[in-house]
A and B are shown apart, each in its own frame.
Chain A
Amino acid sequence: MDAFWIILTGSFVSISCGLLGSYLILRKMAMVGDAISHAVLPGIVIAFLISGQRDSLTMLVGAGILGVITTFLIEFFHQKGNLQTDASIGVTFTWLFALGIILISVYAGQVDLDQDCVLHGEIAYVPIDLWITASGKIIGPRAVFITGSVMIIVISFIAIGYKELFLTTFDPAFATVIGISTALWHYLLMGAVSLATVASFESVGAILVVALLIAPPATAYLLTEKFRPMLIITVLLGILISISGYYLAVSIDGSIAGAMSTVAGLLFALAFLFSPKEGIIITWLKNQARKKELS
């Protein structure tokens, strides 16, 4: 049963992250997830300072708010300062992270408070942290419900705004001219990214989230030239990564998150080599065949 819960949580996280990541890589904002994972630190500290508590919900709210602020600042520097998106991401998350460190050293030096509280979840503990009702009934692992709800929110968001997200990602100027607000959809998307990443950090750990945000969509991008199939392949890859990553970890008795990230990387390497579209081995074979024809 433990295996089932872990794989289910992994799949939920990889589906939410992968779907949102597809939009991020097409908007050339792939590093936003990485940025959020660092920039939420001051949010965690401030949430603690205000509430005086270290329970995960308070921390999650603090982290979530900072996640949205981060994406807002990235866009603000990009728009108003005419800074490239990557530079804007780099500046924003480093200073927010530094601000968090200063806040900790000044106000919370005596408390064991760091990113571990929220960021470094461990997917192997998913089956242990159960959700128990007041009457003592065990419903199931908490992480399954959290990541499951997030996945439903993400899928409904994409279902509702499919064409708006598609158009504002491809051609924002045209979208604005015909009356579709680029800013609104940008912030909705970034809000969804913050929600998905912060909620998943706590359940499965930051490294796995950052990997699942980018690797499956990047792999799918190499495998297809159509957008809808790209989303579907991303989802399938996410599930495949969760299952095979788990059993790889079991067989080598290692970290589950590490194994899942490794599988994600391996699948990307396979696609890079053998993709029918522009895999380098396939291209090489085609060129050889052409040479033979000509000689």
Chain B
Amino acid sequence: MIQQVEDPAVEVHDLTVTYHKKPVLWDIDLTLPKGAIIGIIGPNGAGKSTLIKAIMNLIPHGSGYVKIFNRDIDEVRDKVSYVPQKESVDWDFPASVMDVVLMGRYAKLGLFKRPRKADKEVALDCLKKVGMDAYKSRQIAQLSGGQQQRVFLARALAQEADIYFMDEPFAGVDAATETAIIELLREMSEKGKTVVVIHHDIQSAMEYFNWIVLLNMRLVASGPTAQTLIPSLLEETYGGKLTLLAEVGNLMQKTEFTGRDKR
């Protein structure tokens, strides 16, 4: 089930990516709709991070091309934002929460220019949205995992981009943070922003995303959630691993997919 869309936010054409001559992504061909909350789902080692990094041109392509808003990525960098895995940076770095969020404004400032008052207001506003405004002067070394994730999210928001790539924003955060983040993503989507999220949990994927990409080194499916998160495709993605099959079984038992916080 690979559904293509007209006037896509992201178009990936015949993309192959290799690490040390070993292919990690095979011939990916997909389009992602504008304004959707898109979940990228697949087992460990499926190449989920590699896919979004290749889309953002952080790693070289073996073959194929990527277009964002029908343009080359380098022409639209100011419209693209990224929330890396929080483990990817050194949190002992001497910086405050505000310093990190202001980094989101750097793309809009030229050389020489320091962030102005207006930039600080935007940054503070974004910190409010993630519920971290009380921590703006806090050193990042003192933050918990969930707070680190919120700060990274605020930094991306401060950029006021049109498309956001998030690498496992829900990993290692508590339920309250998870709810806060998903509400924020919905708000962004309502404003027409496209959000691409790497995600692990199949159950919550049902209610979080309206478009799903199933990936296991090659593209298994890409389409609206109801048509892609189905047992046969999940089985194909996960290759019939026991625990996951059980999870799929649970999914099938539930006739309707209610949110787990409504239970």
**Interface locus among B38-46, B88-96, B178-186:** B88-96
A171, B89: Cβ atoms closer than 8 Å: yes
Q: CB-CB < 8 A to B106: which residues of A?
A: 163-164, 167, 175, 178, 180
What's the Cα separation between A179 and B57 when bound, in Å? 11
Q: CB-CB < 8 A to A162: which residues of B?
A: 114
Interface size on B, residues (CB 8 A): 35
Interface string of B194-207 (1 = CB under 8 A from A): 00000000000000
Q: Is the CB of A4 closer than 8 A to any CB of chain B? A: no
Q: A160-B111, A174-B103, A225-B141 are in contact. Are A179 and B88 (CB under 8 A)?
A: no
What's the Cα separation between A227 and B115 when bound, in Å? 16
A177, B80: Cβ atoms closer than 8 Å: yes
Q: Is the CB of B78 closer than 8 A to any CB of chain A? A: yes
Q: Is the CB of B8 closer than 8 A to any CB of chain A? A: no
B82, A177: Cβ atoms closer than 8 Å: yes
Q: CB-CB < 8 A to B89: which residues of A?
A: 170-171
Across the interface, name the chain B residue whose C-beta is closest to A176: B58
Q: CB-CB < 8 A to B139: which residues of A?
A: 225-226
Q: A161-B111, A170-B89 are in contact. Are A178 and B141 (CB under 8 A)?
A: no
Q: A163-B106, A171-B89 are in contact. Are A178 and B78 (CB under 8 A)?
A: yes
B141, A170: Cβ atoms closer than 8 Å: no
Q: A164-B106, A171-B103, A226-B139 are in contact. Are A179 and B111 (CB under 8 A)?
A: no
Q: Is the CB of A173 closer than 8 A to any CB of chain B? A: yes
A177, B94: Cβ atoms closer than 8 Å: no
**Closest-CB distance, A78 to chain B (whole angstroms):** 15
Q: A167-B106, A170-B89, A226-B96 are in contact. Are A178 and B58 (CB under 8 A)?
A: no
B111, A174: Cβ atoms closer than 8 Å: no
Across the interface, name the chain B residue whose C-beta is closest to A171: B89
What's the Cα separation between A162 and B112 when bound, in Å? 8
Interface string of A48-70 (1 = CB under 8 A from B): 00000000000000000000000
Q: CB-CB < 8 A to A178: which residues of B?
A: 77-78, 80-82, 104, 106-107, 159
What's the Cα separation between A172 and B141 when bound, in Å? 18
Q: CB-CB < 8 A to B53: which residues of A?
A: 173
B contact residues vs A (CB 8 Å cutoff):
20, 53, 56-58, 74, 77-78, 80-82, 84, 88-90, 93-96, 99-100, 103-104, 106-107, 109, 111-112, 114-115, 139, 141, 155, 159, 165
A contact residues vs B (CB 8 Å cutoff):
26, 82, 160-164, 166-167, 169-171, 173-180, 221, 224-227, 230
Q: List 5 A-B contacts (CB under 8 A).
A: A167-B106, A173-B58, A173-B82, A177-B165, A179-B74
The 5 closest A-B pairs by CB, nearest first: A179-B77, A178-B107, A177-B82, A225-B139, A227-B94
